[in-house]
Amino acid sequence: MTRALRHLLAGAGVPAGDGAFLDWSRIILLQNLAGVPVERHLVDTYMGSLGFNVLVLGSDGRPSHFCKCRSVSNARLRHELAVLTALGADRRTRQAVPRTWGVQSDELRLLVSEYIRGTPFDRSVVNLSASRWVDSMTEILGVESRVAEAAGHVLPDAVDGRVSMHDAAGPSLEYLDANGLLEPDALNALEEALRLGGRVEAQPQHGDLWPQNVVGWRGSWWLLDFEAFGDVVVPLYDAWHLVRKCSDLRRHWAGKHGTAPELWIDRLIGDSEEASASWHTVAVAAREHGLTSNQIVGGLAYYVSHIATEFHKRGGPRWYWEPHIQEARRLAYALPDLAARCPA
């Protein structure tokens, strides 16, 4: 490996084993999505915020560290490093986020985390019964809530009073409208749901709380990947994201034996055991934040419009962003059914 990467890893305290530096065969390049340094024509694009990751193997051959490698100018990695360093130093979250530190050279910035060896939730969630699934999601959201609370103390800029759901979703709705992605009546329906949601207490959200970023280890849930932490402060965003991604995975793994509808919103308004489990999980999270049923639906409208916008902005092929637009459209037309399904 290059002298720069080798020295950075040594400087980060990654044990080299027998030699002075890590052997080439102990470095696995993962999630290699964009060149570092960023190519000039990609600087201001989504691609420009990406890079590659590295899995470092210990001398016993087992993964010991996970490193994110990005250009020195990468603001998202700097943000994640600040968040994880602060949370890792707080005793309330020491058992929920991996110990993380950073090193950098002229060209490369590394975020180095201790490798969490447990079982990622995306592996276990597909085999859980509905009740065990609810328990697990509730526990995970409890951990996420603890992390958000701790962030309020260690990162004072992360939280700022109350937030209007309608105002927070404004840029997303404008984007969907300007790009002709949603029809005016669908946009009006979402807007109305957001208006009914009113104002809520801001709470920093993880922003990408999907099962692959949750690991069960030593009897605790560990959260990974804090790049988007605090970008969203509307409560229940993480809850809806976790419920939705779990539901997608469970449907996918059921394969041809499954009969669940393709769109998540259709599954959510159904009367299946899975739908009840989803609503129950969100209701528990909502109770913790003292949210009303209108605010639960408002949070859902915020979530689907935000995620549809973010995926479309990335500029990938149609199959990449279209399902999110379809979910947003489906939600807009299903809002009357949802109000009946939503726990009081």
Partner 1 sequence: MSVTEPSTFDDGRSNWLWLAELSRWERALEVCSDTSPQTAGLAEHFRFVHCVRVDDGRLRREWQDLVASGYANVLPACAAATRLPYRDGVFDCVALDDVGTQAASRYRVLPECRRILRPGGCLFMGTRSRGLRRLTRALTRAGFPVVRAFGAEPSWDAPRCMIPLKRAAILGYERWVRRSSPMRDVIRLMLARLGARRLLYRSVILLAYP
Q: What residue ranges bind partner 1 (CB under 8 A)?
A: 1-5, 24-42, 47, 50-52, 55, 57, 61-63, 69, 108, 120, 122-123, 207-208, 210, 212, 228, 241, 245, 310, 316-317, 319-320
Q: How far is the CB of 198 from partner 1 (least distance, A)?
A: 28
* Residue 243 Cβ vs partner 1, minimum distance, rounded to whole Å: 13
Between CA 275 and CA 281 the distance in angstroms is 10
The answer to whether the CB of 104 falls within 8 A of the CB of 72 is yes
* Phi, psi angle pair for 234, to nearest 5°: -80, 120
> Quick one: 233 or 342, whose CB is closer to partner 1?
233
Q: How far is the CB of 213 from partner 1 (least distance, A)?
A: 9
Our CB check for partner 1 shows the closer of 328 and 335 to be: 328
Q: Quick one: 197 or 299, whose CB is closer to partner 1? A: 299
Residue number with CB closer to partner 1 (186 or 307):
307
Q: How far is the CB of 296 from partner 1 (least distance, A)?
A: 21
Q: Give me the amino acid identity at 144.
A: E
Contact 102, 81 (CB under 8 A): yes
Contacts of 148 (CB under 8 A, 6+ apart): 203, 204, 205, 206
- The radius of gyration computed from the CA coordinates of the chain, to the nearest angstrom, equals 21
Shortest spacing between CB 57 and partner 1, in angstroms: 5
Distance CA 154, CA 170 (A): 29
Tokens linked to 319: 């199959």
Question: What is the closest distance, in whole angstroms, from the C-beta atom of residue 211 to partner 1 in the complex?
Answer: 9
CA 190 to chain centre: 22
Q: Which is nearer to partner 1, 63 or 270 (CB)?
A: 63
d(CA 333, CA 335): 6
**Nearer residue to partner 1 within complex by CB, 61 or 156:** 61
Structure tokens at 107: 């060209």
Structure tokens at 61: 């051959």
